[in-house]
Amino acid sequence: MPGCAKAVSWREICTDKLDMPSNARLDASPLPHKPSMKSRLLVGSLGVLTMPCQLYKFLTMLWQRFGGYVPMTLLVYGLNQGVAIPYANMARRVLFADVMKLDGATAGRYVAAAAFPWSIKPIFGMLSDAVPIFGYHRTSYIVIAGICGLVAWTSLGLLPLAGSAIVPFLLLANISVCVPDIMIDAKTAELSKAAPEHAPGLQGLSWGAFGIGGLVTCSTAGLLVDILGPRTLFLLINVCSLGVVVPGLLGWLGECHVPLGQRKPNLEWLRKHAIVSLLAAFMSVAAAMLMVLQLTVESQVLRGVATVSFAMLLLIGIFVVLRRVSDVLAKTAAFIFARECLQPAFGEAMFQWLKNCPDGPQFIPTVLSWIDCFGSLGLLLGVTIYNKYLSEVPYRRIFLGAQLAMVISSLLDFVLVKRWNLAIGIPDIVMLIGDDAFSSTMRKFVMIPMFILASKVCPQSIEATLFAMLMALSNFGGTVGDFFGVSMLEAFGVVHGDFENLADVVLAKSLCRFLPMVLVPFLVPNLRPTDSILIDGEAGSVQGAKSDGNLEAGNEDEPGGEGPDSNPEAGDED
């Protein structure tokens, strides 16, 4: 277990470049001859057979170097995110549709409101840096979040909650996932700085745990909810929260204890970067007010007007404030937020149509869960294709191409709802699998360059805070998009189990997805992901500089400790 070295704050996640050790360089000498196909197949087969042994050696090496941090990370990302999120999403949807009898619009409104914690991630990070609880900056927050999860899952499983009374417990459930993610990111950054030669392994640990957990649960979530029911599945998810509470209490994170006399709140950084701090506070207040309005206002028109007003106000505030830091940062932040806002989503309504509508496919949860596995495979395919073929494509071209593909994906939903696929002999399940995998692949084509662009436009000394804020803006934009989707469903009358106009809503959603394409030439720099972005002085002029590295090589402005931390609801395609 590592000693109590100087802690690296959550705000310093993106600060330093992680250098490759000299002994890790590969021999560039050419092979004497090209291996035959038989030899390559043999080597590939041996690689597959030895993967368990390699994984064991990898985990053992990290365990010997970093101690309890390793199983703690596996539990946070693999169990508390990779397992809890898919199980909770499936249980929640079935609970809303079959037990509480909520229509898709109302269910979507509740889910979007409960996603509030993902929109204020910078606040959680700043709070943990400034205020230690019981002498710990990270561990105590993880334990408290885990307890929130225990309260949430137990209440969702046992209490006869009705209407909006379920939202506070869904909010606690999101806190139980969101906060440990932030704390582990900060610890990963600290260890990466202390042992930069292990930084790639530490990142692979979190992403690998998250991916494996997700693939396992997407194949079993529907089956479990069919057998046990949604409330029992909620109770089972308590195991995931216990998986972070118990190791936290046992001190697995290896965090140094702050002496009693040094536990005063540290507000120096907040004063030094008052603009960024105020923007984070402003964004949090806007998200909170929008959530309250969506839950308390009955008028559909007033809710829609409030959503548009808050989105416009926040967009203007983001651009004006961040332009004082740099022009390219302000434009990038505006694009990240506006792109998500302009893509209305209504996954809850589509789930109910796929499951319960007499004119729909009427899939059982087990089938829908298996279809989600193809979406997960589509995400992996997207990463592979992007890294191999698209890492040199300019930002504008990749965003335009991927957005156009998202329009096509949405139109496939239109074909499915209109039942035209049956007329040409394509079964519903084949249509849905293809659509899910295709849309997931396209989302990855947007996410990877978006992460790279966001990391490169952040100026020095406040990289981590601004990067996290940009990701929070993406989450908040997704929440606004969910509220827009709810307003569209209500405007077209797709409420109370009436799906007659669902095809019209899907078509309107498809047309809305053209709108982010209009913003690309004005807000996205005309550079490639492998180009450096140089910010000159306070004016924030931008210059592109060629880079010899690729996506895996990394550069000094890319994040050093970001795990799979995006809002699981915001990216939920319908």
- Whether the predicted pLDDT of 561 surpasses 50: no
Give, in order, the Cα–Cα distances in Å from 63 to each of 177, 211, 549. 24, 20, 30
Instruction: Give the model's confidence band at 421: pLDDT under 50 very low, under 70 low, under 90 confident, else very high.
Output: very high
Q: Which of 293, 314, 313 is nearest to 304 (CA)?
A: 293
- Whether the predicted pLDDT of 484 surpasses 50: yes
Instruction: Give the model's confidence band at 325: pLDDT under 50 very low, under 70 low, under 90 confident, else very high.
Output: confident
pLDDT digits (tens, 9 = 90+) for 144-169: 999 999 999 999 999 998 888 999 99
> Which CATH superfamily includes the segment(s) 54-256?
MFS general substrate transporter like domains (1.20.1250.20)
Higher pLDDT, 303 or 386: 303
Rounded CA-CA distance 506/196 in Å is: 48
The confidence score (pLDDT) of residue 337 equals: 94
The confidence score (pLDDT) of residue 503 equals: 94
The tokens for 262 are 């040094």
Helices 221-228 and 84-94 sit at what angle, rounded to 10 degrees? 50
Rounded CA-CA distance 364/69 in Å is: 39
Q: Are 97 and 356 in contact (CB under 8 A)?
A: yes
The confidence score (pLDDT) of residue 137 equals: 84
- Whether the predicted pLDDT of 174 surpasses 60: yes
Instruction: Give the model's confidence band at 29: pLDDT under 50 very low, under 70 low, under 90 confident, else very high.
Output: very low
Between CA 238 and CA 249, with CA 244 as vertex, the angle to 5 degrees is 120
Give, in order, the Cα–Cα distances in Å from 49 to each of 61, 380, 381. 20, 21, 22
Rounded CA-CA distance 225/232 in Å is: 8
Q: Are 485 and 512 in contact (CB under 8 A)?
A: no
- Whether the predicted pLDDT of 326 surpasses 90: no
The confidence score (pLDDT) of residue 476 equals: 92
- Whether the predicted pLDDT of 31 surpasses 60: no
Read off the pTM: 0.80
pLDDT digits (tens, 9 = 90+) for 234-263: 999 999 999 999 999 998 888 888 888 777
Q: Which of 451, 457, 337, 445 is nearest to 397 (CA)?
A: 445
Of 32-41, 52-61, 414-423, the least confident: 32-41
Q: Taking residues 370-395, what's their average pLDDT? A: 76
Provide CATH 1.20.1250.20 ranges for the chain. 54-256, 273-531
Rounded CA-CA distance 214/224 in Å is: 15
pLDDT digits (tens, 9 = 90+) for 339-352: 999 999 888 999 99
- Whether the predicted pLDDT of 384 surpasses 60: yes
The confidence score (pLDDT) of residue 429 equals: 87
The confidence score (pLDDT) of residue 50 equals: 56
The confidence score (pLDDT) of residue 165 equals: 92
Percent of the chain with pLDDT over 90: 37
Of 211-215, 476-480, 520-524, the least confident: 211-215
Q: What is the H or E stretch that residue 152 is in?
A: helix 139-158
Instruction: Give the model's confidence band at 51: pLDDT under 50 very low, under 70 low, under 90 confident, else very high.
Output: low
Between CA 436 and CA 446, with CA 441 as vertex, the angle to 5 degrees is 125
Q: Residues, the chain, total?
A: 574
**3-class DSSP state of 173:** helix
Alpha helices in 219-326 (DSSP H): 221-228, 230-236, 238-249, 268-272, 274-296, 300-323
Of 63-77, 249-263, 372-386, 477-491, the least confident: 372-386
User: What is the biggest distance separating any 2 CA atoms in the chain, rounded to whole angstroms?
Assistant: 74
- Whether the predicted pLDDT of 282 surpasses 50: yes
For 254, residues 6+ apart whose C-beta sits below 8 A from its C-beta are 1, 2, 66, 67, 68, 69
Tokens 């550069």 belong to residue: 555
Q: Are 468 and 328 in contact (CB under 8 A)?
A: no
Q: Taking residues 434-443, what's their average pLDDT? A: 72
The confidence score (pLDDT) of residue 67 equals: 83
Higher pLDDT, 3 or 61: 61
Tokens 């949405």 belong to residue: 410
Assigned CATH for 273-531: 1.20.1250.20
